[in-house]
Amino acid sequence: MSDVYAEPTTGADPTDPATLARYTTLRLGGPAGRLEIATSADDIVRRVREAEAREQAVLLLAGGSNVVIGDQGFPGAVVLIRSRGFRVVTEDADTVTVRVEAGEPWDDLVAATVERGWSGLECLSGIPGSAGATPIQNVGAYGQEVAETIVAVAAYDRTEGKVVRIAAADCGFAYRGSIFKYSDRWVVLSVDFRLSRSPLSGPVRYAELARALGVEVGDRVPLADARATVRRLRAGKGMVLDAQDPDTWSVGSFFTNPVLEREAYELLRERAADLGEAPSWPCPGDTVKVSAAWLIDKAGFGKGYTGPEGVAISTKHTLALTNHTGTASTAALVALAREIRDGVQTRFGVTLHPEPVLINCTI
């Protein structure tokens, strides 16, 4: 079993709608009105159409690693996306384009590309979830984003009732966002990635990764070295799913790094003058991205900070909110998220926004 999926316990009936908690990395979520498994793109489309014909709302769930489901669950049809595999669709001397089914476990795909000497995804190693979720979130880590390698996304257009292929330029990729996020219109079926034929990684852009590799920012390293080091760094932060480690029972980073207009950034600097300079990165349009982890920590919410029912900030990473006891409720997790958001707002005047998709719950 891949470590990037939240799967039911051994012997569990995969269509038992009793609780969706067994299908999320947070181990939270109430019952489904109806639970179905789709094992191919055609199957996904068929099950969505059938739910629409029944006039049921639809929730698509794959790895369950970037979703927070309320304690009331989801009263409609939940479709578990379990399509698998990838294949080469075009190639030349320098590049290869692979078409990946939406349900393919993401880290399995990254491992396969590294083994084959295809460069472009190596710094995204260890991220839980499925390939089909990556364009929705424009997944990124350690200096890489999937928007850099995605060529096109095949999706079922629920408005037009047909399957379409959307070019990367039309996907609206932005920081942790796309046209697919927060939209019920699109059902991602497969994703095309164009990768370089190279035994070396892309230029290392992330200072922490460069230090761990013992190289300079901008250097290239063997693909396997980049992958192994990224996985080690992520594991040290509780960001590689581990059934034995409650620090990983999370959605990874709960809040996005806020991107501030220049005036708001200068106001933050004034309010944080006694704490030193907040880690920040310049962004387009004279905006500045600021570390949410730093803001949370300096607002008084350090690693291991505990909320109701045993929900807690990870002991390894300030951005991860965990169901640390495995017995908490979504309401408790949401209460902790609200406390953190409000505390940061009060201390620094900056509003944090959740990164995962919230289903029947809100902060």
Hey, which residues are catalytic here? 176, 253, 355
Tokens for 7, please give them. Answer: 């799967």
Inter-residue contact 36 to 80 (CB < 8 Å): yes
Cα–Cα distance for residue pair 3/187, rounded to 1 Å = 24
DSSP string, 248-298: GSS-SBSBPPPEEEHHHHHHHHHHTGGG-PPPEEEEGGGEEEE-HHHHHHH
Could you give the 3-state DSSP secondary structure of residue 137?
helix
Instruction: Give the Cα-Cα-Cα angle 28, 30, 32 (nearest 5 degrees).
Output: 125
Residue 167 burial (CB count, 10 A)? 11
What is the rounded distance in angstroms from the CA atom of residue 330 to the CA atom of residue 332?
Answer: 5
List strand residue ranges (DSSP E) for the chain, in order: 32-38, 58-61, 67-69, 74-81, 86-91, 95-101, 118-119, 140-141, 144-145, 150-157, 162-167, 186-197, 259-261, 280-283, 287-290, 312-313, 321-322, 357-359
Q: How many CB atoms lie within 10 A of CB 270?
A: 10
Half-sphere exposure of 82 (CA within 13 A, CB side): 16
Distance (Å, whole) CA 253 – CA 258:
13
State the Cα–Cα distance between residues 203 and 87, nearest whole angstrom.
26
